[in-house]
Amino acid sequence: MENEKLQTAINTLKNSGVRITPQRHAVLEYLLTSMTHPTADDIYKALESKFPNMSVATVYNNLRILSEIGLVRELSYGDDSSRYDSNMDDHYHIVCEDCGKVVDFHYPKLSEIESLAQRVSGFDINEHRLELYGKCKACKTEKAVQH
């Protein structure tokens, strides 16, 4: 399944006329196999042993290209570092206020909000975003142990 996703993504790159460099391939593969929502720095640190000459700027450039093509979604939560998500299906996020962990959740009924908002406002709605904030299980447990 993961190989299939990677091959589909590579085909999308080829069809977009984007060269598939080893670094670009590695960034894409990391995002597709990562179960987290990594920052560019996380990706850089994970790949630096494999690509010692690769810079953080290279990672950012690749993320920008992958985002423009529609293979990656940039998530910004008000802090300095965006997180990146290769899951392009409609879904929402829960963000831990302590450690910054981001978890996906699905609730198909929320997609009805777009059509309702469009009817009520007259706007053409392109997308919507929902984030929930709280404390993850690990941070709650750690806090309970400290007290």
Q: Of the candidates 67, 85, 103, which is a domain's last residue?
A: 85
Q: Do residues 12 and 53 share a domain?
A: yes
What tokens appear for 114 in the block? 């777009």
Q: Of the candidates 65, 85, 105, which is a domain's last residue?
A: 85
Quote the pLDDT of residue 60.
Answer: 93
Q: Do residues 52 and 101 share a domain?
A: no
Alpha helices in the chain (DSSP H): 2-15, 22-33, 40-47, 56-69, 112-121, 137-146
DSSP category for residue 84: E
Per-residue pLDDT of 17-26, as tens digits, reads 888 999 999 9
Domain that holds residue 117: 92-146
The span from the CA of 91 to the CA of 106, in Å, is 5
Q: Of the candidates 85, 103, 130, which is a domain's last residue?
A: 85
Q: Do residues 23 and 78 share a domain?
A: yes
| Nearest CA among 44, 29, 40 for reference residue 86 | 29
Evaluate if residue 99 carries a pLDDT over 70: yes
Q: How many domains does the chain have?
A: 2
Per-residue pLDDT of 41-63, as tens digits, reads 999 999 999 999 999 999 999 99
Quote the pLDDT of residue 1.
Answer: 53
Residue range 121-139: mean pLDDT, rounded: 89
Question: For the chain, what's the residue count?
Answer: 147
Quote the pLDDT of residue 2.
Answer: 59
Residue range 89-118: mean pLDDT, rounded: 85
Quote the pLDDT of residue 137.
Answer: 92
- The whole-model pTM stands at 0.77
Neighbours of 11 (CB within 10 A): 10
Quote the pLDDT of residue 82.
Answer: 87
Evaluate if residue 77 carries a pLDDT over 80: no
Q: Tell which phi-psi region holds residue 132, choosing left (phi > 0), alpha (psi between -120 and 50) or beta.
A: beta
Q: Do residues 80 and 110 share a domain?
A: no
Q: Do residues 58 and 102 share a domain?
A: no
